[in-house]
Structure 1
Amino acid sequence: MNWTSVCFDWNRARAFLVTAEEGSLSAAAKALNMTQPTLSRQVAALEQELGVMLFERTGQRLELTQSGLELLEHARRMGEAAQAFSLAAQGQSQTLEGTVVISVSEPDAVYRLPNIIAQLRKAEPGIHIETVVTNQVSDLKRREADIAIRSFRPTQPDLIARKLGEELIWLYGTEDYLQPYADIQTLDELQDIEIIGFNRTDAMIAPLNQQGWNLSLDNIKLVTSFQPMQISLCHKGLGLIYLPDYIGDNDPKLKRAFPSFGPILRLPIWLVCHQELRTNPRVRRVYDFIANSIGQH
Structure 2
Amino acid sequence: MRFCMDWRSVSFDWNQVRAFLATVEEGSLSAASRALGQAQPTLGRQVSALEAALGVTLFDRVGKSLTLTPSGVDLLEHVREMGEAATRISLAATGHSQQIAGKVKISASDATAAYLLPRVLAELRNRAPDITVEIVTSNALSDLRRREADIAIRHIRPTEPDLVALKLPDTPAHLYAAPAYLARFGRPRTVSDLADAAFIGMDRVELMIEILHQHGLTLTPANFPLLSANTVTCWELVKQGLGIGIMSNWVAELSPEVERIDPPGFLPIPVPNWLTTHRELHTSRRIRLVFDLLAEMIGDKGALR
| TM-score (normalised: structure 2) | 0.64
**Residue 212 of structure 1: aligned partner:** 216
* C-alpha distance in structure 2 between counterparts of 1:270 and 1:189, whole Å: 35
Deviation at residue 178 of structure 1 after TM alignment: 2.5
Deviation at residue 185 of structure 1 after TM alignment: 4.2
**Residue 294 of structure 1: aligned partner:** 298
Consecutive unaligned residues in structure 2, runs of 5 or more: 1-61, 84-98
* C-alpha distance in structure 2 between counterparts of 1:245 and 1:261, whole Å: 19
**Residue 22 of structure 1: aligned partner:** none
AA in 2 matched with 1:143: R
SS in structure 2 of the partner of residue 122 of structure 1: helix
* C-alpha distance in structure 1 between counterparts of 2:245 and 2:168, whole Å: 24
Aligned equivalent of 1:252, options 247, 256, 270: 256
* C-alpha distance in structure 1 between counterparts of 2:189 and 2:179, whole Å: 18
Deviations 1:61-99 (A, max 9, x none): xxxxxxxxxxxxxxxxxxx833x24x87xx989783211
SS in structure 1 of the partner of residue 142 of structure 2: coil
Report the RMSD for the aligned CA atoms in angstroms.
Answer: 2.4
Q: Contact between 2:198 and 2:243, CA under 8 Å: does it hold in 1?
A: yes
CA spacing shift, 1:254–1:185, aligned 2, 3 Å: closer
AA in 2 matched with 1:224: S
Aligned equivalent of 1:223, options 213, 227, 235: 227
Q: Contact between 2:155 and 2:274, CA under 8 Å: does it hold in 1?
A: yes
* C-alpha distance in structure 2 between counterparts of 1:197 and 1:81, whole Å: 44
Aligned equivalent of 2:174, options 157, 164, 170: 170
CA spacing shift, 1:127–1:249, aligned 2, 3 Å: closer
Identity of aligned residues (%): 36
**Residue 123 of structure 1: aligned partner:** 127
* C-alpha distance in structure 2 between counterparts of 1:259 and 1:193, whole Å: 13
* C-alpha distance in structure 2 between counterparts of 1:266 and 1:192, whole Å: 25
Q: Contact between 1:98 and 1:128, CA under 8 Å: does it hold in 2?
A: yes
* 2:284 equivalent to 1:280: yes
Deviations 1:129-159 (A, max 9, x none): 1111111110000100000011111011111
CA spacing shift, 1:250–1:121, aligned 2, 3 Å: closer
Q: Contact between 1:109 and 1:133, CA under 8 Å: does it hold in 2?
A: yes
Aligned equivalent of 2:63, options 70, 81, 84: 81
CA spacing shift, 1:286–1:256, aligned 2, 3 Å: same
AA in 2 matched with 1:139: D
* 2:207 equivalent to 1:203: yes
Q: How does 1:9-158 map to 2 (within 5 A)?
A: 81-82=63-64, 84-85=65-66, 96-158=100-162
Consecutive unaligned residues in structure 1, runs of 5 or more: 1-79
* C-alpha distance in structure 2 between counterparts of 1:246 and 1:102, whole Å: 18
Deviation at residue 215 of structure 1 after TM alignment: 0.8
CA spacing shift, 1:259–1:123, aligned 2, 3 Å: farther
**Residue 264 of structure 1: aligned partner:** 268
| TM-score (normalised: structure 1) | 0.65
Aligned length: 213
**Residue 41 of structure 1: aligned partner:** none
* C-alpha distance in structure 1 between counterparts of 2:263 and 2:127, whole Å: 39
